[in-house]
Amino acid sequence: MELEFGEIVSVPMNQIWQHEERDFTPWLAQNIEKLGEALGGLQLEVEQTEVYAGNFQLDILAKEVSNNKVVVIENQIYKTDHKHLGQLITYASYFKAEIIIWVSQEITEEHRSAMDWLNNNTNDKLEFYAVEANIIKIDNSKPALNFKLKAFPNEWTKSGGNTPTTATTETGELYRAFFQKLLDELREKYRFTNARTGQPQSWYSFTSGIKGCIYGCSFARGSKVRAEVYIDTPSQEINKEIFRAFEQQKLQLEQEFGEELQFEELPTKRASRIAVYREGDIWTDTQTLDEIKNWCIEKLLKFKQVFGDKLKRETENREY
């Protein structure tokens, strides 16, 4: 039997999104997890769209949840140009961003080279990404979008090719190794996250799919390990309202969770948290660290199970 293959056809972005600001930017903001996955599992959460930076207007202001870095995203439905490169650097400066992302239908060779140069010649904290949005159809099929990474940071080249730039202390490396194991198991076994890179820090946060609400695991003060749901929308007033609504359900939530929950309003901060604790620190033996990892996984999965739908209901009708 003779096989028949369909014809792959490239589709210009402006056939899908006619206007960058009104069409593509809102779509990208609503599908930001797709972009984060293409960038190696960055956990991106949108803060604002079309936000002013002086006399200019940034397409998307976001944060990387796992390390709380500020992210600026400039997107185009046509090929890159010098104007947008200048705007991108202006936005990065204005918002003090550490992750800078340029999304376009076509990244020209000159602009790919410019982004590579910025990665190789700026300080270790800055990360520059250039991403092509390629859209294809097979015959008359629905269009499919694929993000193609054209320029990205390389921490090995920034540090002279010897050691990762963020590996500054022995303690940092212990944290990095612990959270790498935690991430790998959560991603590969439970599909809890798309995050791929452990950080040399005592905590790690995970997107919940609900703006301003995250799940987290950390080594806290007093040789304690904490798992939590962290409520941190842009509005302190709303955060406290959500927290108190949950606090009124304390007995029911504890029954669903299977143990006592600590309700911490954090009155001097914008955010509030609901947490559970156990003994432990990063300097313990390997076997105990494995037990802590398993405990973190169990509690994070439980927080998602118990609070996932409830967080959505509590936040969806509130204006930030």
CA angle 81, 85, 91 (to 5 degrees): 145
Per-residue pLDDT, averaged over 2-26, amounts to 90
pLDDT for 169 equals 84
Distance of CA 32 to the CA centre of its chain: 9
- Model pTM? 0.79
Per-residue pLDDT, averaged over 218-225, amounts to 95
| Per-residue pLDDT reduced to its tens digit, 141-151 | 899 999 999 99
Q: How far is CA 261 from CA 147, 233, 247, 250, 277, in A?
A: 41, 21, 10, 8, 9
183 with 111, same domain: the answer is no
pLDDT for 73 equals 98
Query: Under a CB-based contact definition with an 8 Å cutoff, are residues 166 and 156 in contact?
Result: no
Question: In whole numbers, what is the pLDDT of the chain averaged over residues?
Answer: 91
| 163: in domain | no
Query: Which pLDDT band, with edges at 50, 70 and 90, does 1 fall under?
Result: low
Burial pattern 177-190, b for ≥16 Cβ within 10 A else e, equals: ebbbebbeebeeee
Tell whether the model's pLDDT for residue 165 goes beyond 60.
Answer: no
108 with 149, same domain: the answer is yes
Structure tokens at 211: 């703006």
Q: How far apart are CA 266 and CA 1, in angstroms?
A: 69
134 with 264, same domain: the answer is no
Closest CA to 282 of 152, 177, 150: 177
113 with 215, same domain: the answer is no
In the chain, how many domains are there?
2
Tell whether the model's pLDDT for residue 154 goes beyond 90.
Answer: no
Closest CA to 193 of 177, 178, 201, 205: 205
196 with 292, same domain: the answer is yes
pLDDT for 199 equals 86
Burial pattern 72-107, b for ≥16 Cβ within 10 A else e, equals: bbbbbbeebeeebbebbbbbbebbebbbbbbbbbbb
Q: How far apart are CA 237 and CA 230, in angstroms?
A: 15
Query: Under a CB-based contact definition with an 8 Å cutoff, are residues 135 and 145 in contact?
Result: yes
Per-residue pLDDT, averaged over 287-292, amounts to 97
104 with 198, same domain: the answer is no
**Between 194 and 263, where is the model more confident?**
263
What residue spans of 5-158 are helical by DSSP H?
Answer: 13-16, 25-30, 32-38, 82-95, 109-121, 155-158
pLDDT for 41 equals 86
Q: How far apart are CA 278 and CA 257, in angstroms?
A: 15
| Per-residue pLDDT reduced to its tens digit, 224-281 | 999 999 999 889 999 999 999 999 999 999 999 999 999 999 999 999 999 999 999 9
Q: How far apart are CA 199 and CA 187, in angstroms?
A: 16
Please say which residue of 133, 158, 183 terminates a domain: 158
| Per-residue pLDDT reduced to its tens digit, 47-101 | 999 999 988 899 999 999 988 899 999 999 999 999 999 999 999 999 999 999 9
Q: What are phi and psi of 56, to 5 degrees?
A: -105, 165
Tell whether the model's pLDDT for residue 4 goes beyond 70.
Answer: yes
- Which residues fall within 8 angstroms of residue 284, CB to CB, at 6 or more apart? 292
CATH number at residue 264: 3.30.1460
pLDDT for 319 equals 66
105 with 187, same domain: the answer is no
Containing domain of residue 236, as a range?
170-316
141 with 184, same domain: the answer is no
108 with 208, same domain: the answer is no
Q: How far apart are CA 227 and CA 246, in angstroms?
A: 17
244 with 195, same domain: the answer is yes
